[in-house]
Amino acid sequence: MSPFGARLAAAVAARGPLCAGIDPHPGLLADWGLPRDVSGLERFARTAVEALAGEVAVVKPQSAFFEAFGSRGVAVLERVIAESRAAGALVLLDVKRGDIGSTMAAYAEAYLSDGSPLAADAVTLSPFLGFGSLDPALDLAAETGRGVFVLAMTSNAEGASVQRAVDDRGRTVAQNIVDAAAARNTGATPLGSVGLVVGATVGSSGLDLSALNGPVLAPGLGAQGAGPEDLRGVFGPALAHVLPASSRDILRHGPDPVALAAAARAVNASLLT
């Protein structure tokens, strides 16, 4: 495959910047009138794929909601990945894995290797065991043309004590993560394949994203309170490479796939004005 950054740039140019979450939260299953079992999970997930994967550049299944149902839930996730890609969407699998050594290498094989049934176009990773601990995943992603999105500054209140902590050079942990990602993207065109996760609701982050040369996933659009105007305030000149992510604000329109698709189109259009 061509590098993820190049494929992402082409997909966004064709379909807009929206990243649509596929999050089969128990509350949403109930709202859709579905049972909290594997049959409900599958109906929810495949309806979302039918409605969204042909509309948006990126879909983002949240792995935990599938894993909660054991092996049969993971099998549903495998079908979601395959069917979403067949419909033309890139799949960003939200797994937030982060470990060391052979364990990190095993996670990389699961999500980033050719031939794995769980292989996505990109995954989310946690760097808080040290950015270098992610090397097995970063290296395999580069080898197979896939991407990663590394947590940098998240919108949960607990994250600030770690991510905004300052080192002896006066730089925040989050900025050091940005800089390490930027180093991985040096020279890539039109866009690097190592992205970041920065919450759309973090407000004034203080992050310098000017050298990143990669995409930024911005969760929090819609139900968590962020709107298009907040994106401009948080990301400034880097907004051109931001993937605003919305899940519940779109999924609440289910189970009608026509209504789901219309909601995704409306959110996408609001990001382009």
The model's pLDDT over 160-219, given as tens digits with 9 standing for 90+, comes to: 999 999 999 999 999 999 999 999 999 999 999 999 999 998 888 889 999 999 999 999
Structural domains counted in the chain: 1
Active site residue 96: yes
Q: What is the mean pLDDT of the chain?
A: 96
Whether pLDDT at 269 is above 90: yes
pLDDT category of residue 273 using cuts at 50, 70 and 90: confident
Domain residues for the domain of 259 are 4-271
User: Has residue 141 got a pLDDT over 80?
Assistant: yes
With a pLDDT cut of 90, the percent of the chain lying above it is: 89
* Model confidence at 223: pLDDT above 80: no
Q: What is the DSSP track for the chain?
A: ---HHHHHHHHHHHH-S-EEEE---HHHHHHTT--SSHHHHHHHHHHHHHHHTTT-SEEEEBHHHHHTTHHHHHHHHHHHHHHHHHTT-EEEEEEEE---HHHHHHHHHHHHSTT-TT--SEEEE--TT-GGGGHHHHHHHHHHT-EEEEEEE-SSGGGHHHHT-B-TTS-BHHHHHHHHHHHHTTT-SS--SEEEEE-TT--S-----TT--S-EEEE-BSTTSB-HHHHHHHHGGGGGGEEEEESHHHHTTTT-HHHHHHHHHHHHHHH--
What is the domain-level CATH number for residue 224? 3.20.20.70
Measured distance CA(223)–CA(248) in Å, rounded = 6
Q: What are the pLDDT digits (tens) for 230-251?
A: 888 889 889 999 999 999 999 9
Note the pLDDT of residue 221. 86
Catalytic residue among 46, 96, 171, 253: 96
When pLDDT is cut at 50, 70 and 90, the band that residue 226 belongs to is confident
Residue 232: the pLDDT is 86
User: pLDDT by residue (tens digit) across 106-137?
Assistant: 999 999 999 999 999 999 999 999 999 999 99
